[in-house]
Structure formats: C-alpha cells, structure tokens
Amino acid sequence: MDTLQKKILCPSILNLSTDNMREEVEKLDATDMDIYHVDIMDGTFVPNFGMSVRELEMIRRITDAGHHKLVDCHMMVMNPHRYIKRIAEAGADIIYIHPESELIPSATLELIQLEGKKTGLILNPCTSLETVKDMLPITDYVMIMAVNPGFAGREFMPYTRQKFIELDNYRKEKGLNYHLMLDGGATREVIADLYHNCNVEGFVLGKQELFFQQDDYATCIDRIRTF
C-alpha cells in the first residue's frame, strides 16, 4: 500500500461476560469500531469453547437496529464446512477458517463465497505462507494469529512479525487486495509498529487496549486510531 488505510478495529466479543453482553455490545455499537469479532470454538481444534450461533445472531440484531457494523466469525472448529451455511444465516459478513481444520480448505472458501460472504484465512504462528498462497486470490481477509489460538489475553509473539511482512510483500508482488489483520497481543506498541511499518490494517482488540480499561469504549477506540 502506498498510503496507510484507516485502521480496521475489531473488538473481540469473547472478552465480554455473558451476564451483560447485550448492554456492552450496544455500547460498542455506538463507537467508531468497524467489525465485531466472534470466536466459535469446538473444544477439539483448540482446547477451549467459545461463543455460539445464538450470540452471533444477537450481535447481528443489535447492530442492524443501530449502526450497521460488520460481523466476522472466527471458526476455530474442525471441518467448518459443515457450519458455513448456518453461520452465514446467523449474520456473519466475514467467515474465517484455519486451513489446518479442513482436508480441502479451498472448497470451504468457495462455500463461503457461494453464501455471498467475505472469505477469511487464519494463519497460526506455525502456519507458513507457502501452505496458503495458492488460496490467497480467493481470500478477502488474512488474519495472522500472533498468539496460539484458543484463549484471550495472551502476549504477542515477536517472531510472528516476519509473517506480516511476508504477506504484505506477497500481496504487493501479486497485485492482490486481501486485508491483513492481527489477532492476539494487540498492545499500543504492537498496533503502532504493525500499522506503520508492516502495512497491517486490521486489529482484533482485547483487554490490552479496549476491554477492562478506565476509559469508556468510545474513548479507547478513538485513542487506538491515533497509535
């Protein structure tokens, strides 16, 4: 990219307590955030359980009645092709899969396209560019995990920085237009470095800069835009 794009800010809803999730989502909806990030886990692909389709549907209803934000779904499940239609019907605009979760991940990306949704690939810290580059022409969003997936609040793994650089260079070399996103360890320092030095546009936001802060969500979002 010759000029920096506006940051794509994606609050991770996994950080919210189920006790007052609706109220918190309504507060988020009124801010300058961009995409709700919804983690769905099956306890097999990662050793944890995340959110459900019911919560995805709730977020869709809230933002449809409010500020019409996008919703993404991060599928940390085995064989996600089984659920693509259901996730699409629940209101996800972007559906991310891990290539390791499918025997033929390119077919699952095509399923996502057939549902009229944007495609997303998630690269774990150990996933190489070489294993996914043939799918990048049909990928709208590439998200790199800078932590091992499955739990919130982990610290950024510095060695993953090179992967962002490689994917940005490959995007330029091949004339591709996928968005480059970070999931995990999004501190002020990490966001500023990846945005200004590695052409990373998108950031999944967790407790480091958005949740459990002294300031309200709107103030935090506005501050993150200045990093």
| pLDDT score, position 41 | 82
Residue carrying the six token digits 């919804």: 38
Q: Which residues sit opposite 180 in a β-bridge?
A: 142
pLDDT of residue 68 exceeding 50, the answer is yes
Structure tokens at 124: 């774990």
Distance (Å) of CA 118 to CA 21, 71, 134, 182, 212: 26, 11, 17, 17, 31
- Angle (CA) 144-87-202 rounded to 5° is 25
Q: Determine whether 103 is exposed, middle or buried from the number of CB atoms within 10 Å of its CB (0-12, 13-18, 19+).
A: exposed
Residue-wise pLDDT for 121-166, tens only, equals 999 999 999 999 999 999 999 999 998 865 565 789 999 999 999 9
- Confidence category of residue 46, pLDDT binned at 50, 70, 90: low
d(CA 33, CA 5): 15
Q: Determine whether 109 is exposed, middle or buried from the number of CB atoms within 10 Å of its CB (0-12, 13-18, 19+).
A: buried
| pLDDT score, position 18 | 85
- Confidence category of residue 42, pLDDT binned at 50, 70, 90: confident
Q: What is the pTM of this model?
A: 0.94
From 34, 72, 168, 183, active-site residue: 183
| pLDDT score, position 150 | 56
Distance (Å) of CA 194 to CA 176, 177, 181: 19, 18, 10
Residue-wise pLDDT for 3-17, tens only, equals 678 999 999 999 998
From 39, 72, 140, 168, active-site residue: 39
d(CA 111, CA 79): 12
| pLDDT score, position 1 | 46
| pLDDT score, position 57 | 96
Q: What percent of the chain has pLDDT over 90?
A: 85
Average pLDDT over all residues of the chain: 93
pLDDT of residue 39 exceeding 60, the answer is yes
Residue ranges and CATH numbers for the domains of the chain are: 8-224 (3.20.20.70)
| pLDDT score, position 56 | 95
Q: In the annotation, is 183 catalytic? A: yes
